[in-house]
Amino acid sequence: MTKRLFFLIVLISFFVGALGSILLSRFFIPYFATATGWQSLNKLVTSSPIIINRTNEVQLNEGVNLIDLTKQAGNITVSLFSKDASATFLGNGVIMTSDGLIFTSKSILGTQRELTAVLYNGNAYKATVRAVDPKSDIAALTIEEKNLTTPSFADGFGLSPGQRILVLGQSNLAFNRKLAQGFVTNTAMNNKSQLWRTYSTEVLEDSFETDADVNAAGFVGSPVINLNGKLVGLVGSSLQKIVITENIQSALSSYLSSNKIIRPRLGLTYFQLSKTLAVLRGLDRAGVLVAKTDPGSPSAGKFLPNDLIFEADGRSVESESFEQVINRHSIGEVKFKVLRAGKEMEVIVNLEPTK
**pLDDT tens figures, 240-293:** 579 999 999 999 999 999 999 999 999 999 998 888 888 888 888 889 999 999
The closest of 275, 262, 353, 349 to 317, measured between CA atoms, is 275
* CB distance 177 to 70 below 8 Å: yes
H or E, element range at 169: strand 164-171
Residues contacting residue 329 through CB under 8 Å, at least 6 positions apart? 264, 312, 313, 351
Q: Is the pLDDT of residue 30 over 90?
A: no
* Distance from C-alpha of 307 to C-alpha of 316, rounded to nearest angstrom: 15
Residues contacting residue 9 through CB under 8 Å, at least 6 positions apart? none
More confident: 224 or 319:
224
**Residue 19 confidence (pLDDT):** 59
Q: Is 32 helix (H, G, I), strand (E, B) or coil?
A: helix
Q: Is 323 helix (H, G, I), strand (E, B) or coil?
A: helix
Say how many CA atoms lie within 13 Å of 306 toward its Cβ: 7
**Residue 60 confidence (pLDDT):** 39
* Distance from C-alpha of 5 to C-alpha of 11, rounded to nearest angstrom: 10
- pLDDT class of 53 with cuts at 50, 70, 90: very low
* CB distance 141 to 270 below 8 Å: no
**Residue 315 confidence (pLDDT):** 85
* Distance from C-alpha of 276 to C-alpha of 279, rounded to nearest angstrom: 5
Mean pLDDT over the full length of the chain: 84
- Provide the β-strand partners of residue 125: 117
Q: How many CB atoms lie within 10 A of CB 254?
A: 20
Q: Dihedral sign, CA of 120, 123, 124, 129?
A: negative
Local structure of residue 40 (DSSP, 8 states): G
Residues contacting residue 166 through CB under 8 Å, at least 6 positions apart? 66, 69, 70, 73, 179, 180, 181, 212, 224, 225, 226, 227
What pLDDT digit, counting tens, does each position of 166-222 carry? 999 888 766 678 889 999 999 888 776 666 789 999 999 899 999 998 877 789 999
Using CA atoms, how far residue 225 sits from 21, 69, 239, in Å, is 60, 9, 19
Beta-strand pair 138-142/164-171? unpaired
- Provide the β-strand partners of residue 233: 224, 244
**Residue 36 confidence (pLDDT):** 56
* Distance from C-alpha of 355 to C-alpha of 341, rounded to nearest angstrom: 33
What letter represents residue 277's amino acid?
L
Q: Is the pLDDT of residue 310 over 60?
A: yes
Local structure of residue 49 (DSSP, 8 states): P
* Distance from C-alpha of 261 to C-alpha of 251, rounded to nearest angstrom: 6
* Distance from C-alpha of 31 to C-alpha of 35, rounded to nearest angstrom: 8
* Distance from C-alpha of 10 to C-alpha of 16, rounded to nearest angstrom: 10
